[in-house]
Structure 1
Amino acid sequence: MTDFVLVAGAWLGAWAWDEVVPGLEKAGHGVHALTLSGLAEKKDVRAGQQTHVQDIVDHVERHDLRDVVLVGHSYSGIPVGQAAERIGGRLRHVVFVDSNVPRDGESFLAGFSSEHVRQGLDAHGGVWPPLPPAAYAGQGLTDEQIDRIVTEGTPHPGATLTEPAVLERPLGELPATYVKCVLDGREPLPAVAELLTGGNWKLVEMDTGHWPMFSRPRELARVLDEAAAGS
C-alpha cells in the first residue's frame, strides 16, 4: 500500500489537508497529514529548517512507512525535497505542489524576491505572520476558505526560512511530479523549470490557485493518486 505524507506550506498545519485525505483513502492509500514544528498544534516548539526536515524523516521512520509518496506544498517543498533523499529506499515518489524546491546551501528566501518577507520577520520578532485576506484574491478561493486560512494559520518560524538547505545529491535524480497551479502564474520558478528538463520530473498543471487543497481538493487528490500510480 502506498503511504502519502502530506506537508502543507507556511502558516498551515495538518488540518489544511482535511478535504484531500478522503479522496486518497478512497483510492486505497494510507494517508499521513503532518504538522511541522512551530505550527498549528506544535506552535510552541522551536524550529529551524532542519527541524522540519527531521520532522518528516522521523514520521516516516517511526511509523515504518514504505512505498512513500512525500507531498510538499509551497514552502514545504524545501524540507520535503531534503527529506526525500534521506529516507532512501522507503521513497516511491515526491510531489511538489506549487512549491519552492531546495538548492544545496541556499535558504527559502534565496529562491525569490523576498524583501517583504524579511521585513515581516523583522517587524514581528522573527516570525512570518499569515498574509491578510486581500493577498488571497484571484486564487480560486471562497471567502470562507480565505477566512479559514487566515484565522487558523499560525505565524511561521523565521529560522525555517533563513537556514540553508542541505542536499547530498542532485535533486533532479529524485522521481518527482511538479504540480503548477496556473492562477498563481503559469511559469514554474526558474529552479523548477531546470529540474523539469532532466527526465525524472513530470509537470502537471491545475487550473486553480496556490492553495489547491482548499480550492480543488478532490482534483488534487486525483492528481496525487495519478502521480503515485505513474511512478
Structure 2
Amino acid sequence: MSNLVLVPGAWLGSWAWDEVVPTLREAGHAVHPLTLSGVADRQAVPAGRQTHVQDIVDEVERLDLRDVVLVGHSYSGIPVGQAAGRIGDRLVGVVFVDSNVPADGESFVSTWWEGPAKLEAVLAGNGGLWAPPTKDDYDGQGLTDEQIARIVGGTTPHPGASLADPALLVRPLADLPTTYIKCLLDGPEPSDDVAGLLTGEQWRLVEMDTGHWPMFSQPQELARILLDAAG
C-alpha cells in the first residue's frame, strides 16, 4: 500500500480530486487530497514564501506517512517537486500531472510568465490574488459544459505571493522516481525543462488524450495512471 498525497493546481482545493480518490482507495491505497494555504476552504490561511512546500511536508509528517507518492497538478508541481526532496526516505515516487516543475532559485512566475513585472500587473487591484480562469478559458480542454461549470463554481483566487516564491531544491529532480503526465490537448510536447528531465533513467512520460484538467475530464484514466505509479 502507498500513501498518495494529491495536490491540486492553482485556484483549486482538495475537492478537485473527488472523482479520482475512490478508485485509488478501492485498490487498497491510502489517499490524502490536500488543499494548499490561501485557496478554497483554506482561503483565510496566509500564504507566503515556502508556505505551499511546507503544507505538503507538514501533511506527510503530521500523519507520519511512509511509502509516499506525491502528486502535483499544474502550478503545484513546483511545491511538490521541492517537498519531494524534503521528506527523504518517506518518498517512493512523484507524479507531475501536466505541471510546472521547479528550478532551483526560480519561481513559477519567472519560468512560465514574463517575470515579476507581469505578475504585479496581474495582481494589481485584485488584493494580491491571482483571479481564477473564466468559463471561456476552459474551451478546447476536453471538458463538458457541466464539468466546466463545476470547476468555475469551485475555484477561488490564488495567493499571488506563492507565484513569485523562489524554489529551494534539496534533491535534484533528475534523481526522483517520477512519472510525468502530458495532457495533449494542452500542447503536444512537454516543456523544454521537462523534456530534459525525461532523458534521465528515473523519469518516464505518460500521455493523456485530454486537456489540462484530467481529474475532471478523464478521472478514471488518471486514477489508473496513478495506480501504476504507486505500484
State the TM bucket, normalised to the shorter chain: over 0.9
Is residue 171 of structure 2 the alignment partner of residue 155 of structure 1?
A: no
Q: Mark the CA change 1:49 to 1:223 in structure 2 (over 3 Å): closer, same or farther.
A: farther
CA-to-aligned-CA distance 1:99-126 (integer Å, 9 cap, x gap): 0000000000112234765432124121
Query: 1:50 corresponds to which residue?
Result: 50
Tell me if the contact between 1:145 and 1:214 (Cα under 8 Å) persists in the aligned partners: yes
**Aligned residues: CA RMSD:** 1.2
Query: 1:202 corresponds to which residue?
Result: 204
C-alpha distance in 2, partners of 1:30/1:100? 25
Q: Which runs of 5+ in 1 are unaligned?
A: none
Tell me if the contact between 1:47 and 1:157 (Cα under 8 Å) persists in the aligned partners: yes
C-alpha distance in 2, partners of 1:118/1:197? 35
Tell me if the contact between 1:49 and 1:79 (Cα under 8 Å) persists in the aligned partners: no
TM-score with structure 2 setting the length:
0.96
Query: 1:86 corresponds to which residue?
Result: 86
Residue-pair matches, total: 229
Is residue 17 of structure 2 the alignment partner of residue 17 of structure 1?
A: yes
Query: 1:2 corresponds to which residue?
Result: 2
C-alpha distance in 2, partners of 1:66/1:163? 28
* Residue 57 (structure 1) shift: 0.4
CA-to-aligned-CA distance 1:121-167 (integer Å, 9 cap, x gap): 12412110111110100001111111111121110000100110001
C-alpha distance in 1, partners of 2:210/2:49? 28
Structure 1 stretches of 4+ with a deviation exceeding 6 A read none
C-alpha distance in 1, partners of 2:46/2:134? 24
Query: 1:153-192 to 2 correspondence within 5 Å?
Result: 153-192=155-194
Identity %: 67
Query: 1:74 corresponds to which residue?
Result: 74
CA-to-aligned-CA distance 1:177-203 (integer Å, 9 cap, x gap): 000000000111111111111111000
